[in-house]
Structure 1
Amino acid sequence: MADTTESTPAPEPHAPVEVLDTVEGYRDAVERLAEGTGPFAVDAERASGFRYSQRAYLIQVYRRGSGSFLFDPPAIGDFSELAAVMAGEEWILHAASQDLACLREVGLDPGEIFDTELGARLAGLPRVGLGTVVQDLLGIHLAKEHSAADWSTRPLPQSWLVYAALDVELLPDLRDRIAELLESAGKTEIARQEFAAVLRKEPISRQEPWRRLSGIHAVRQQRNLAVARELWTARDDYAREIDSAPGRLVPDASLLAAARAMPATKRDLAAMKDFNGRASRSQLDRWWAAIERGLTTTDLPVSRPPGDGMPPPRVWADKNPAADGRLKRARAAVVELSESIDIPTENVLTPDTLRRVAWTPPAEIDALSVGAALSELGARDWQVALTAQVIADAFVELRQGPEDPANADS
């Protein structure tokens, strides 16, 4: 591993950096990428926090022997030629799950990936941000000051483009270094399964998304919740309409302040100091109409959404002491296992998977039955192979041992 006390500045990109926003420039870049060798390094820049959509506003692709190319997705539109050239080859991404959706939106869908963020995590690196990993493994200081920029800006500043090009130009060397670490630790197959799982993971579809309002848990009355729901819906519709991040129009705290206060008139709403944001007054009619709908609707939301039958672990000791004991003993065993193989506990087995098998264990507990339960819950083969026996032993020891693990340190 590189000496983290010293690092060299990031190199300049291999070629002059420009955004390709014409079909001719795009097709020329595709031809040059086809002439390169090895995997494709890919990154995408969005405008999270600025725009409603999560579309890509810049897509960077680098391949050895070809160079790096920065594409403007809104201007180019159709990426079928690039997708054809990249088909059948490995794609290198850092934190792939963040970019796959917006890449797939324009028709760029990898069949095989190497995720340098996930690979670094599995290799046991303590910090896995791109800048940190590049410095630790390649000895190069990569500035990350533009990572949260508004990439829908046009024209894009040259300093941003240099940053974007370097993000992909360093990925092949980083991929090779992480692959060496994984191979030396006997984790290559683990990484392969985890990378494949990233590609298979379905996006989360949330019911009642308005319940994601920050602080909504403190609102208990159904009528107040109805007002909060209608305000959230009105804001979401308007944000989608003008392609703006909802929180930039009216923050969550303001919506909840109005839902708690239940203003009686539009004038009362306008007088609320806690109801602010750049669209709080310019769209006052919109917000007041939403409040009126919340005040008059007969479709009142339940105070708490229905759960999945499994309460939060903090109440297990009272509601199901046996499950609480199983969870605490098994969790301690999985933590010990994760430390021995230098993989974060949440990657060895997700906390939710462990909770579910502890809450509803197999009728006959052994490695085979626990392994089948873990597989049913979505655990990968390597996770089952490593943890099934450990968890089964923990469950059996709980039945046999005099010590009550429910009183153990969690």
Structure 2
Amino acid sequence: MSASERSEPVRLFCFRLRRATAPTVLHRAPMIQSRQALVALVAELRDAELVGLDAEGDGLYRYRSRLCTLQIGVGDDVAVVDTLAIDDLSPLAPLLGEDGPVKVVHDVSFDRKMLATRDLPLGNVFDTSVAARFLGETNTGLAALLESRFGVKLHKKYQKADWGERPLDQPQLDYLVSDVKHLPALAKQLESRAVELDLLDEIHVETRYALERALEPEAVFQPWTRVKGARELSGSGQAIVKALADARERVAREADVPPFRIASNRVLFEAARRRPKRLRDLRKLRGLSDMPDGALRDALAAARRDGPPTIEKKPAPPAERRAERKAREKALMAWRKAEAAAREINMQAVLPGHCLRDLAGVSTLDLAAIGAVPGLGEKRLARHGATWLGLLRGADGVS
């Protein structure tokens, strides 16, 4: 378990505002676009016990996503911060950090990543997505939760909008506000149910786990490996798809757009399947019009020069070790299913999938090794640690 899980007590969130110090509803400009206005917003919200929070990026339209807007507020009083217009967002740090109010979000991983692009912290969070999942909601999307619980329908028109464009019109601003204004009320309902089921601690620990994992380095993949079916191509086909994928990546980076907007994976696969020899062969394909002639010529030359990519295969664990792990996972899954049924709660709340996999992989069979599994939490360890140890030993045939 991480240091934060061991040292920080779980906060039982109380979703109410202090009446004497509730934020004053101010008449603001449609968007906050200056540092001065940002400082005023932070002062307005600093005494709140919780605020709704959401971030929007432009990852569908840029090579690297930018933090474009940040919506934050309480109830109907939600401010839209134009994060592209303000160079210094540091006044937000005390509000967004661990010592600030509870931030109610939906998908803490995304918000954490977006805030980190501007060196902003995020702590003291309640994630309604995690809570809904642990409470067994069939559909954990925000739109579905708001419609089922409050009869609120979020418009889908702007779900894929380019939030990096300016200016934003009033319907777009209304959409941004609507995503946040109901979050505190939703959190209150979910928290109440979590308390009834004795799951508030588990929700807190899982949210903390997601926060910590959000900024871990992502695995680096060669562009061609993202093309479906590429590994099944012949050697020459793999050489072409790799060269084209690399060329597409360079063009996308220079144009500051996502690679899929230059050419789809389907087109790259079809090009490789046809094994083109010359530029005119590639130009017969629809979907490569945004690839310059020079980039395509370079790709064909690279395919001939470099040949197929080297595919590194990790050696599989010994058969005995694979069988041992499979037996462990089977025992843990059977126990989790029975425990969830007995307590009438969701299986992920009993033991998240990532914890189950890590438990099955511990190399030392003792409580210290089990307690070191990230995202497990002290409560689960105290409640089930001895049981898990017995299950693992039994799966290994150890008495």
TM-score class, shorter-chain normalisation, is 0.7 to 0.9
Contact 1:48 1:148 in 2 (8 A): no
Contact 1:40 1:86 in 2 (8 A): no
- Counterparts of 1:23-34 in structure 2, within 5 Å, are 23-34=35-46
CA 190–235 in structure 1, closer or farther in 2 if over 3 Å, else same? same
In 2, Cα distance between equivalents of 1:17 and 1:52:
31
CA 257–26 in structure 1, closer or farther in 2 if over 3 Å, else same? same
In 2, Cα distance between equivalents of 1:27 and 1:399:
59
In 2, Cα distance between equivalents of 1:26 and 1:94:
23
Match of 1:93 in 2: 105
In 2, Cα distance between equivalents of 1:55 and 1:191:
29
Match of 2:329 in 1: 327
Shift of 1:82: 2.2
Shift of 1:40: 2.6
Shift of 1:164: 0.8
Shift of 1:391: 4.2
In 1, Cα distance between equivalents of 2:224 and 2:140:
31
In 1, Cα distance between equivalents of 2:356 and 2:190:
28
Match of 1:249 in 2: 262
- Counterparts of 1:189-208 in structure 2, within 5 Å, are 189-201=201-213, 202-208=215-221
Shift of 1:333: 2.2
Task: Give ranges in structure 1 of 5+ residues lacking alignment.
Answer: 1-12, 401-410
In 2, Cα distance between equivalents of 1:389 and 1:102:
40
For residue 89 of structure 2, what is the amino acid of its counterpart? F
In 1, Cα distance between equivalents of 2:94 and 2:358:
42
- The reply to whether residue 229 of structure 1 matches residue 242 of structure 2 is yes
Match of 1:297 in 2: 306
Match of 2:81 in 1: 71
Match of 2:15 in 1: none
Report which stretch shifted further, 240-249 or 206-215.
206-215
Give the fraction of aligned pairs with identical amino acids, expressed as a percent: 22
- The reply to whether residue 186 of structure 1 matches residue 198 of structure 2 is yes
Q: Higher relative contact order at CA 8 Å, sep ≥6: structure 1 or structure 2?
A: 2
Report which stretch shifted further, 82-91 or 238-247.
82-91
Match of 1:173 in 2: 185
Match of 2:7 in 1: none
In 2, Cα distance between equivalents of 1:385 and 1:132:
35
In 1, Cα distance between equivalents of 2:185 and 2:268:
47
In 2, Cα distance between equivalents of 1:375 and 1:232:
43
Match of 2:314 in 1: 307
Contact 1:248 1:277 in 2 (8 A): no
- Counterparts of 1:5-404 in structure 2, within 5 Å, are 18-34=30-46, 36-63=47-74, 67-87=77-97, 88-89=99-100, 90-201=102-213, 202-216=215-229, 218-271=231-284, 273=285, 276-280=287-291, 283-297=292-306, 301-303=309-311, 305-307=312-314, 309-310=316-317, 320-346=322-348, 348-351=350-353, 353-355=355-357, 357-358=359-360, 362=363, 369=366, 371-381=367-377, 382-385=379-382, 388-395=385-392
Contact 2:73 2:181 in 1 (8 A): yes
Give 3-state SS (helix, strand or coil) of 1:302's partner: coil
Shift of 1:61: 0.9
Shift of 1:385: 4.5
CA 309–378 in structure 1, closer or farther in 2 if over 3 Å, else same? farther
Match of 1:10 in 2: none
Which runs of 4 or more aligned residues in structure 1 lie more than 6 Å from their structure 2 counterparts after TM superposition? Answer: 13-17
Structure 1 residues 60-100: Cα deviation after superposition (integer angstroms, max 9, x where no partner): 11136x92111111111211112234441122111111121
For residue 183 of structure 2, what is the amino acid of its counterpart? L
Give 3-state SS (helix, strand or coil) of 1:74's partner: coil
Task: Give ranges in structure 2 of 5+ residues lacking alignment.
Answer: 1-24
Shift of 1:253: 1.2
Shift of 1:107: 2.9
In 2, Cα distance between equivalents of 1:158 and 1:395:
58
In 2, Cα distance between equivalents of 1:241 and 1:97:
28
Shift of 1:14: 9.3
Give 3-state SS (helix, strand or coil) of 1:20's partner: coil
TM-score by length of 2: 0.80
Give 3-state SS (helix, strand or coil) of 1:183's partner: helix
For residue 380 of structure 1, what is the amino acid of its counterpart? L
In 2, Cα distance between equivalents of 1:375 and 1:231:
47
CA 398–140 in structure 1, closer or farther in 2 if over 3 Å, else same? same
For residue 196 of structure 2, what is the amino acid of its counterpart? S
Give 3-state SS (helix, strand or coil) of 1:234's partner: helix
In 1, Cα distance between equivalents of 2:246 and 2:43:
46
CA 128–342 in structure 1, closer or farther in 2 if over 3 Å, else same? farther
